């Protein structure tokens, strides 16, 4: 899952980025409104964490421009202001959640997971593809009743395919989904992760198909005949 953190306080931004990465999120950082607006025009995120009091373009204007472009990415406001009027204004402008600083990290992570789960078609806590199971609360995989531990990148690839199961996901979408702007994205790496995942899913009822020139597709093996 890929997040954009828009925060101008360097110490807080660094701390939050580290915490979120420890919770297996890919995180990009923007430190002012103009930079955030530019990134949001060119990148895709699962959730945006938006501070209101940022330099240049204000947080409210970043949100306004985002919704004017009909971009429905979930936005959580992170602010020191507990004003009810401001909260109502932000929610009315298209924010999906509002969290007042200081906050508990556990609450932040829990709320991010709720926003992500809202995007899952049936909003179920567990998603199945045959006996491959994804728990959206813990973000963990299992095959039947056996946990399927995965390295971070492989986990991110399978997570994207699982949430889009039955639909083709392009290699470029996977690159954008698992690498942050500070990484060196590699399309060749995606092929390596897919190959490793296929080996780990050999005994599973789910499989990753390659659609040449289009991308990858996660389906039940008995649906591929």
Q: Do domains 2-117 and 126-223 have the same CATH topology?
A: no
Residues 173-206: pLDDT tens digits?
Answer: 999 999 999 898 888 999 999 999 999 999 999 9
Domain residue ranges in the chain = 2-117, 126-223
Instruction: Give the CATH fold of the 126-223 domain.
Output: Arc Repressor Mutant, subunit A (1.10.10)
Q: Is there a cis peptide before residue 61, judged by omega within 30 degrees of 0?
A: no
DSSP category for residue 186: -
Locate the DSSP E strands across 149-213. Answer: 206-211
At residue 80, does pLDDT exceed 90?
no
Q: Using CA atoms, how far apart are residues 80 and 77, in angstroms rounded to an integer? A: 10
What's the half-sphere exposure (Cβ side, CA atoms, 13 Å) at 4? 28
Instruction: Give the CATH fold of the 2-117 domain.
Output: Rossmann fold (3.40.50)
What's the half-sphere exposure (Cβ side, CA atoms, 13 Å) at 71? 20
pTM exceeds cut of 0.95: no
Pull the structure tokens for residue 221: 């093996």
**Per-residue model confidence (pLDDT) at position 122:** 61
Residues 120-132: pLDDT tens digits?
Answer: 766 567 889 999 9
């Amino acid at each position: 899952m890929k997040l954009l953190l828009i925060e101008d306080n360097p110490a807080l931004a660094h701390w939050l980025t580290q915490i979120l990465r420890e919770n297996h999120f890919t995180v990009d950082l923007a430190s002012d409104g103009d930079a955030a607006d530019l990134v949001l025009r060119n990148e895709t995120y699962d959730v945006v964490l938006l501070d209101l009091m940022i330099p240049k373009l204000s947080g409210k204007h970043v949100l306004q421009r985002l919704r004017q472009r009909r971009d429905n990415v979930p936005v959580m406001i992170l602010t020191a202001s507990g004003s009810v009027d401001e909260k109502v204004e932000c929610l009315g402008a298209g924010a999906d959640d509002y969290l007042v600083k200081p906050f508990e990290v556990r609450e932040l992570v829990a709320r991010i997971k709720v926003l992500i789960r809202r995007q899952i078609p049936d909003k179920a806590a567990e998603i199945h593809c045959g006996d491959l199971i994804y728990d959206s609360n813990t973000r963990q995989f299992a095959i039947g009743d056996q946990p399927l531990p995965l390295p971070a990148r492989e986990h991110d690839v399978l997570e994207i395919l699982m949430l889009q199961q039955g639909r083709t996901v392009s290699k470029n979408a996977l690159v954008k989904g698992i690498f942050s702007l500070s990484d060196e994205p590699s399309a060749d790496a995606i092929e390596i992760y897919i190959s490793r995942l296929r080996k780990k899913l050999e005994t599973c009822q789910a499989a990753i198909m390659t659609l040449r020139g289009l991308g990858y597709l996660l389906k039940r093996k008995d649906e591929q005949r």
